[in-house]
Amino acid sequence: MALDAPQLNSLGFAKPPSETRVVVAMSGGVDSSVVAAQLAEEGYDVVGVTLQLYDHGAALAKKGACCAGIDIHDARRVAEDMGFPHYVLDYENIFKDAVIDEFADSYLAGATPVPCIRCNERVKFKDLLETAKDLEADCMATGHYIQRKIGAQGPELHCAEDANRDQSYFLFSTTPEQLAYLRFPLGHLPSKDATRELAARYGLQVADKPDSQDICFVPNGNYASVIEKLRPGAAEPGEIVHADGRVLGQHNGVIHYTIGQRRGLGIGGLEEPLYVVKLDVDAKQVIVGPKDMLSTRIVPVREINWLGDAPFTSRDEWHVSVKVRSTRPPREAIVRPVSDTEAQVELLTPEEGVSPGQACVFYETEGSRILGGGWIWRGY
C-alpha cells in the first residue's frame, strides 16, 4: 500500500509550522508587518529582521520613506505584540557601497537609476538572505506584492494578483537560487485594502500607516539635492542645446534633468514643444528636441537575469512582453540574445523616454510569469 505524500505547510515544507523557522524582512510598514503577524498566528517560528540602511537621525520625522527610525520602532512593536524575536541590523556601509554610491554615479552619467532594484538584489536578497540562513531559517518572507509559484522546472516568479500593487519590475533580478528560498505571502491578495483588513484583524497599530512613496534616502523625491551632497560640484552649469546645434539657454546642472522631461526647462517662448532627449555630462549639455526624437525601438540591455526554463541563448529570439518603466504596462517585444547576459530588445511599438539606468523587464505575453530582465544602458 502506497504511503500518502507528507502534508506540506503553507510555506511548502513537509513539517509542522512550529518546526519551520522563517525570517521576515520587516521594514516597519503595513505589508511586512502583516506577513510577520500572519505567519506568527499560523504557528511558525518567526524571526523579524529590520535593516538600518542609512543614518536615520535626519530622517526620524520624515514620512513616506521606509527604513527610517520610526519604522524600526514600528517593526519592533509588531514583534512585541505578536511575541516573536526581532533584530535590527546595521547595514549602512553595505547599503552605501552597494546602492547609494552607484545611484549617485549613474545619475551623474546621465542615467535614471532605480536604486530599489539594486537594494533588493545586493542587500535584501543577498546579505540579508545569507543572514537568514545563518539563523538556520528554512526560508525568508517579505511583504512584496509578487507571486512565487511551483512550475515544471521549480519555483517561478509571477505578477501579483493585484496589478495596481505588482512589484515585479523591482524584483526581476531575483535569481533562481534566491527564489528557492524566498516566500511572498501577500502576492495573491486582491488589493491593498485586503492587507489593511488583515492588519486590523491582527490588531496591528500600523494598519493605517501610509505607504512609502520616496526612495528611502531621497527625501521628498529631490534627487538633485542628494546628489549634490554625495558628489560636491555635480551641479555645474552649462548650456541647453537644441539637437540641431542651437544654444537655447543655460542650466544649473545636468543632474536637475531627466530624459523625456518637458516642464521646467527654462526655455519658454518657442513655437514647438521641446523635450530633453539626451544628457551629455562630459560637455555639461542638456540636449533638447521634438517629441519624436524620444521614440525608441531598439533597446540595448545588459546584466540580464534570465528566469526562463530553457537557457537564454538557446534561441535566437524570444517573443515576450517588456516593461521599460515601472509605471508602464508591458508591451510586446522581441529579445535577441547577444550573450548570456546581453541582448538587443526590439519594441514592436516604439516607446518614448527610454532611459539608460532603467530596467527592462521580460514577461510572458500570455500569462503572468516574469522571465527576468536587465538594465538599459544606452536608450538613445
Query: pLDDT value at position 2?
Result: 52
Task: Please work out, in degrees rounded to the nearest 5, the angle formed at the alpha carbon of residue 366 by the alpha carbons of 362 and 372.
Answer: 20
Together in a domain, 75 and 121: yes
Together in a domain, 274 and 323: no
The sign of the torsion formed by the CA atoms of 283, 284, 289, 295 equals: positive
What is the rounded average pLDDT of the residues 219-236?
80
Percentage of residues in the chain having pLDDT higher than 70: 94
CATH number for the domain including 261? 2.30.30.280
d(CA 230, CA 41): 44
Cβ contact 94:123 at 8 Å: yes
Query: pLDDT value at position 61?
Result: 42
Query: pLDDT value at position 267?
Result: 85
Together in a domain, 148 and 58: yes
Q: Residue 74, annotated ligand binder?
A: no
Q: 184 in helix, strand or coil?
A: coil
What is the rounded average pLDDT of the residues 110-120?
88
Together in a domain, 148 and 181: yes
Higher pLDDT: 69 or 118? It is 118
**pLDDT above 90 for 304:** yes
Percentage of residues in the chain having pLDDT higher than 90: 67
3 located within any domain: no
CATH number for the domain including 161? 3.40.50.620
d(CA 158, CA 307): 11
Query: pLDDT value at position 5?
Result: 61
Higher pLDDT: 380 or 295? It is 295
Together in a domain, 299 and 285: no
Cβ contact 159:368 at 8 Å: yes
Together in a domain, 128 and 244: no
Confidence class for position 62, pLDDT limits 50, 70, 90: very low
Together in a domain, 314 and 252: no
Q: C-alpha dihedral over 247, 355, 221, 188, to 10 degrees?
A: 160
Beta carbons within 8 Å of 198's beta carbon, 6+ residues apart: 34, 37, 38
Query: pLDDT value at position 57?
Result: 46
Question: Would you state the cell numbers that stand for residue 361, as one nine-digit string?
Answer: 523587464
How far CA 169 is from CA of 148, 174, 320, 327, 358, in Å, comes to 15, 11, 15, 9, 10
Instruction: Give catalytic status of residue 139 as yes or no.
Output: no
Indicate the DSSP class of residue 268: -
Cβ contact 357:325 at 8 Å: no
Most confident of 46-60, 154-168, 201-215: 154-168
Q: Residue 28, annotated ligand binder?
A: yes
Confidence class for position 328, pLDDT limits 50, 70, 90: confident
Together in a domain, 310 and 368: yes
190 located within any domain: yes
Q: C-alpha dihedral over 114, 261, 365, 350, to 10 degrees?
A: -140
Give residue 312's identity as a one-letter amino acid code.
F
**pLDDT above 90 for 356:** no
Confidence class for position 337, pLDDT limits 50, 70, 90: very high
Higher pLDDT: 229 or 290? It is 290
Q: Residue 143, annotated ligand binder?
A: yes
Q: Which segments of the chain does DSSP mark as H helices, in order? A: 30-41, 69-82, 92-95, 101-108, 115-119, 129-134, 176-181, 192-201, 223-230
Higher pLDDT: 256 or 23? It is 23
Q: Residue 27, annotated ligand binder?
A: yes
- Enclosing H/E stretch for 275: strand 275-280
What is the rounded average pLDDT of the residues 231-251?
90
Split into its structural domains, the chain has a count of 3
77 located within any domain: yes
Q: Residue 266, annotated ligand binder?
A: no
**pLDDT above 50 for 59:** no
Instruction: Give catalytic status of residue 67 as yes or no.
Output: no
Higher pLDDT: 88 or 4? It is 88
Confidence class for position 4, pLDDT limits 50, 70, 90: low
100 located within any domain: yes
Question: Would you state the cell numbers that stand for residue 186, as one nine-digit string?
Answer: 501577500
Together in a domain, 184 and 120: yes
Q: Categorise residue 64: left if φ over 0, alpha if ψ from -120 to 50, beta otherwise.
A: left
d(CA 314, CA 311): 5
d(CA 157, CA 148): 5
**pLDDT above 50 for 86:** yes
Q: Residue 82, annotated ligand binder?
A: no
Range of 360's domain? 295-376
Q: What is the pTM of this model?
A: 0.89
Together in a domain, 46 and 190: yes
What is the rounded average pLDDT of the residues 284-302?
93
- Please list, residue by residue across 266-286, b when 16 or more beta carbons sit within 10 angstroms of its beta carbon and e when fewer do: eeeeeeeebbbbbbebeeebb
User: At which of 202, 222, 248 does a domain end?
Assistant: 202
170 located within any domain: yes
Together in a domain, 48 and 191: yes
Query: pLDDT value at position 55?
Result: 65
d(CA 265, CA 255): 13
Residues, the chain, total?
Answer: 380
Instruction: Convert the pLDDT of each residue in 164-181 to its tens digit.
Output: 999 999 999 999 999 999
140 located within any domain: yes
Catalytic residue, from 67, 116, 119, 139: name it: 119
Higher pLDDT: 72 or 268? It is 72
Catalytic residue, from 66, 116, 159, 216: name it: 216
Task: Please work out, in degrees rounded to the nearest 5, the angle formed at the alpha carbon of residue 189 by the alpha carbons of 46 and 165.
Answer: 105
Indicate the DSSP class of residue 269: S
User: What DSSP letter does each residue of 116-169 carry, written as one string?
Assistant: HHHHIIIIIIIIIHHHHHHTT-SEEE---SEEEEEETTEEEEEE-SSTTT--GG
